[in-house]
Structure 1
């Protein structure tokens, strides 16, 4: 099963049919607990032959929507209706989730920047190693649910990476992308690829998607509903469950809008510390060079605000909700319409 030794223990029998609920357990000896253990809930639903889909959330602890959706799924999914295997890890980075922080408070590491992890590393590195070397070898399809956390807010979108070296997998990934049914279906390049979970999936040839489901430190009813429908759609799309895919237009929403993030010019950063005043809202379309907001200085009497301009045209799909900003903070991400296959 595992393609490398691991110090994480788990008593789930991944070959056994039925519903199993248990924990990933890894020793964590600290001042407060000499023989302490981090225990991370994990679920498996297996019924006969069929593909394995691995659903994860909480890679960043302050991204709540995916954790809610997957906990609800894990407590309601009927294994008798499954054809194949569903593995659910609602809060992969449990220490960060318990703290409500992006990074783990144990080792201050970003789980989504250290894959494939280390067998003898810190807690976060050990979690990444187990996922990479035990769970991914079982996996045909991986779906990782993110959001903007406390510092970003997205129009709900499902995302795939371009696969220039495997056009057949790219085609199948695009079909799954459009089946999910978020307002935006995004084709992206892994612009900051080092240590990303999705890149580890790509390296292993696993069809994978990741979602950005709102954020702003909130859980919103309509976004939870979009994500729940999307997961159900994927289970049906891959033949793991029977049923009809629920298209957005059948639920009073617009069809998924296929878009792409072209390059780093699609991101807007602030040049200094202060308070950020946005001029635009999510869904607004801008031209290259347009003013989208301004930074007000707090330590000056009459210094004029610094106006932030776009480098490229596009539609605002991501914004920074907190008003306080520091130099280098991202305050906006823009995407443009695209086609598949690309023109």
Structure 2
């Protein structure tokens, strides 16, 4: 495979705590021989698990970015055993712009794997992650939220492994993380172009993701719950030397989500009036809401319905909706064991 054109300021093999940038080459009108800085931290202390922590694949998902920024500042070499690699803002141009995709190439990093070393900036970042950072990892944690347009129940997420033993280990990590909901999917919404797809190509590296709220903001309580949950997972795997002081008191509800019937989409452009909210239990065919028409306020609104019953996992945060926008998605009760 062709090597990456991205140059790292830090040597990932070195012991200790080092921080710096990945330099993504770019040539624009304003900067003929420039590079895009992607922040990276490496904390390595002897032998032990290699864990990759990623946030900011979508630039407007702030909760995971805050989580990993704080982790870089707080962790010291003596706090861990093994190797932590941390990308707090993986799609750095999108993070800087405060939008889901990169302003350089409209690139959605979590739809860009396996990437291309000679491609656009987003493709180059995806290729670097898959070919340089992922190999040899024992776990990847990928922190997401609903971003600007969606809001999720606080959830940990997995793509359900086919192996029974792998599935049990993944469910154990969901419960250990301890958010109110843990859900599984048949496949990532990005398919084999997602980070999960990259993990599968490299020999089924376990990938634990999250959906930490959304709506373009960050909740103090949820951020703290994620900090404690990640610490529990890292301590369980033998990477973090000290367990968090907070006790694990949350009972995680397990759900399963599959497309397409678990998703409700807008049938028209207009203002969406929801009939359900996060965490509601809904039934097959139940009315989900109505789309009203601002340009023709005398026109009868269109009612939309849930395709299947279950628990409302996600809702559109913005009232304005276009044809094809996701309004809700639903998870059904799941008993993997």
The alignment's TM-score, normalised by the length of structure 1, stands at: 0.94
Say whether the 8 Å CA contact 1:4–1:133 is kept in structure 2: no
Aligned to 2:70: 72
Aligned to 1:152: 150
Aligned to 1:82: 80
Aligned to 2:51: 53
Aligned to 2:254: 258
Deviates more, 1:73-82 or 1:123-132: 73-82
Aligned to 1:273: 269
Say whether the 8 Å CA contact 1:146–1:211 is kept in structure 2: yes
Deviation at 1:326, TM superposition (A): 0.3
Say whether the 8 Å CA contact 1:266–1:333 is kept in structure 2: yes
Aligned to 1:182: 179
Say whether the 8 Å CA contact 1:273–1:325 is kept in structure 2: yes
Aligned partners of 1:26, 1:173: CA distance in 2, in Å?
Answer: 33
Aligned to 1:120: 118
State the 4+ residue runs in structure 1 displaced beyond 6 angstroms: none
Aligned to 2:106: 108
Give the gaps of 5 or more residues in structure 1.
none
Say whether the 8 Å CA contact 1:113–1:195 is kept in structure 2: yes
Aligned partners of 1:244, 1:301: CA distance in 2, in Å?
Answer: 57
Say whether the 8 Å CA contact 1:21–1:42 is kept in structure 2: yes
Say whether the 8 Å CA contact 1:191–1:263 is kept in structure 2: no
Deviations 1:247-274 (A, max 9, x none): 541xxxx411111113311110110000
The alignment's TM-score, normalised by the length of structure 2, stands at: 0.96
Say whether the 8 Å CA contact 1:6–1:129 is kept in structure 2: yes
Aligned to 1:25: 23
Match of 2:279 among 283, 288, 312: 283
Say whether the 8 Å CA contact 2:64–2:88 is kept in structure 1: yes
Deviation at 1:299, TM superposition (A): 2.3
The aligned runs of 1:1-343 (5 Å cut-off) are 4-164=2-162, 166-190=163-187, 192=189, 193-204=191-202, 205-244=204-243, 246-249=246-249, 254-341=250-337
Deviates more, 1:255-264 or 1:114-123: 255-264
Give the gaps of 5 or more residues in structure 2.
none
